[in-house]
Amino acid sequence: MKARGAGERAIERGLVLVASSSIAILFIITFFIFKEGLPFLIEIGPARMLGGVDWAPTRGHYGLLPMIVGSLLVTGGALLLGVPLALSCAIYLVEFSKPRVRRILKPAIELLAGIPSVVYGFLGVVFLVPLIRDHLGGPGLSLLAGAIILGIMILPTVISISMDALEAVPRTYREGSLALGATTTQTVNMVVLRAARSGIVTAVILGMGRAIGETMAVIMVTGNALDLPRSPLDPVRTLTSNIALELGYAAGNHQKALFATGVILFVMIMILNLAATFSSRRRSR
């Protein structure tokens, strides 16, 4: 018994160490980004970087507004396209599908999460971009292409977590609703979805984080133009694309400006996550 207790304590300490190391790594990354980028952001001025429309670091122009708008529009478009499809798929698999269908579809959906983003980008360039160019106009490399690709990429995350949230709803909730005369559709809409709301919101938040932080696929299909988009068919550049494209050769103030871009991106993600979480808790109350 003593040996067994010592083994359990060792396992517990090992798990605590792993969890602590994850938090420490996150803290180190955050500290490094802010250490490199925050002084330059303060020196230039947040208003100048956030409100400026010209990005030309070699000439002293550090405007990030087109890239901020591009990031928000691409992410918003991805959520608009991906979340309804993902939630519908999760509801079907949990509430309506047969066990055999679910055993086939669920692993297939989870497999999508293991596909490298560059593959999504390649498929977008080969199939989606020509389709948009030939049927809708514009260069094809556009805000719309980026939103569609990211909408597909967030599907596995949102579907898997939404399914877990729906499965966590007690079976008695469904049985009580059906016993009162509600149909299965009414039960799902009025009981199950409301009970699983917090988990679904978590799925959407994680999907949003995946979309706004994606780089490679976005670089390949959005066109990377340094202009404010006027329509979904215009090319855009996101904050992550800007960092990935220019960090390899940047130096001096140019490099500091890219780290400042990382700080702004970090703050944007935190604000969006906190806003979504606060809104969910407020509706729950």
Q: Does residue 153 register a pLDDT over 80? A: yes
Q: Over the chain, what is the mean pLDDT? A: 87
223, 238 contact by CB (below 8 A): no
Alpha helices in the chain (DSSP H): 2-44, 46-51, 65-91, 99-112, 117-123, 129-135, 143-153, 155-167, 171-179, 184-187, 193-195, 197-213, 216-221, 239-246, 253-284
The pLDDT of residue 278 is: 73
**Domain at 55-284: CATH architecture:** Orthogonal Bundle (1.10)
What is the model's pLDDT at position 133?
Answer: 93
pTM above 0.85, yes or no: yes
Structure tokens given for 126: 């080969």
Tell me what the mean pLDDT of segment 1-14 comes to.
72
| Both tokens assigned to 111 | 């497999």
The residue ranges of every structural domain in the chain are 2-44, 55-284
> Which tens digit of pLDDT belongs to each residue from 254-281?
888 999 999 998 888 888 778 777 766 6
147 by Cβ neighbours in 10 Å (0-12 / 13-18 / 19+) ranks as buried
Rg of the chain taking only CA atoms, in angstroms: 23
